[in-house]
Structure formats: structure tokens, C-alpha cells
Amino acid sequence: MRIVYGGNPRDTLQVARGGKQAFKRSAILLSSFLPFVSLAAVSGAQLTDVRPRVISTKGGTEVTSTGSGFSQRVHVARINGIVLSPQTFVSETTIRGSSPALNAGSYEADIFNTATGRVEPNPVGVRAVEPGPVPTVTSVEPYWL
């Protein structure tokens, strides 16, 4: 494994492969460099679409965020800064989750990079609306048996 630190690709740390002892030595060595490790390798994600664009103010609408470069345990989908929960990482192009309860209005859906603490480019607008009444069927015509 090669880790770039200090922001310069020439400044690398080689982590040895093989056995528990090599792993322990690598972990100790890595922990001393951790404050300087660049997390640029896990960035580069981009949101391109969110469906549906209209969600319920009550929450619970299944939302699919699509784009590119998503990494499991690094990128989370959010609406109005609130993480979709529960959330499922489907692939590096798709994250699904349930929308939070929100007041009626317009909000931004985005992808948040938990490693860098930054929002990835291209947030997408969504609108939360009050759900309407459930229609009831009172009759069906013509009636044949």
C-alpha cells in the first residue's frame, strides 16, 4: 500500500505487505504520519442526479443519489445537511436512503465526504411537499357481473 502525505505525490510512505508483524509495524509507522496523510485519494466524487426531486415533508421517501467516485464508508448522501437514514451504498455510482422529515420548501441534496469534512461538487435541488389526501374509490361504472 502506498500513502501520499504532505500533498506531494513524491512524498510517499510504503507500507509493507505480509504477515501480522509487518502489519503491526506498518500500523505503528502509519500512526506517526497520520496527521499529515492526504485524503485526496478518497475525493473526486461528484453528484449528478437525485431521484425523486419531490419528497414528502413527513420523511421516509426513498431517495437515489447517482454520480461518480462514491466510496463506501467515506461518502454519505444528505438533504439539507441531514444524512439519509438508513442509507445503502449500492456502488461507486449510487447511494440510496430515506429522506428526513423537513418543512415544506426547497433544499439541496449533496454528497458529503466524511474523510475531508467537505461537500462534494454539484449539489442538486429537491423540494419537500406536504402529502395530499389519499384518494378513495366510491364507485366504479359501468358495473357488470
pLDDT digits (tens, 9 = 90+) for 33-46: 444 444 444 458 99
Q: Answer yes or no: is 89 within a domain.
A: yes
The domain of 11 spans 2-38
Residue 126: closest CA among 51, 35, 43: 51
Amino acid at 40: A
pLDDT digits (tens, 9 = 90+) for 98-118: 999 999 999 999 999 999 999
Average pLDDT in the 141-145 region? 74
What is the pairing mode between strands 105-113 and 46-51? unpaired
The pLDDT score that the predictor gives to residue 132 is 86
The confidence band for 30, taking pLDDT boundaries of 50, 70 and 90, is very low
Q: Answer yes or no: is 92 within a domain.
A: yes
More confident residue, 126 or 10: 126
54 backbone dihedrals φ, ψ, rounded to 5°: -115, 125
More confident residue, 66 or 19: 66
Average pLDDT in the 2-10 region? 43
Give the end-to-end CA distance of the chain in Å, rounded to a whole number: 73
CA distances from 143 to 137, 139, 140 (A): 14, 9, 6
The pLDDT score that the predictor gives to residue 43 is 56
Q: How many domains does the chain have?
A: 2
Q: Answer yes or no: is 100 within a domain.
A: yes
The pLDDT score that the predictor gives to residue 84 is 96
Least confident of 6-20, 45-59, 65-79: 6-20
Q: Do 74 and 28 have their domain in common?
A: no
Q: Do 48 and 115 have their domain in common?
A: yes
Q: Answer yes or no: is 136 within a domain.
A: no
Helix, strand or coil, per DSSP, at residue 139: coil
The pLDDT score that the predictor gives to residue 145 is 64
Amino acid at 129: V
Q: Do 91 and 54 have their domain in common?
A: yes
CATH code for the domain of 116: 2.60.40.10
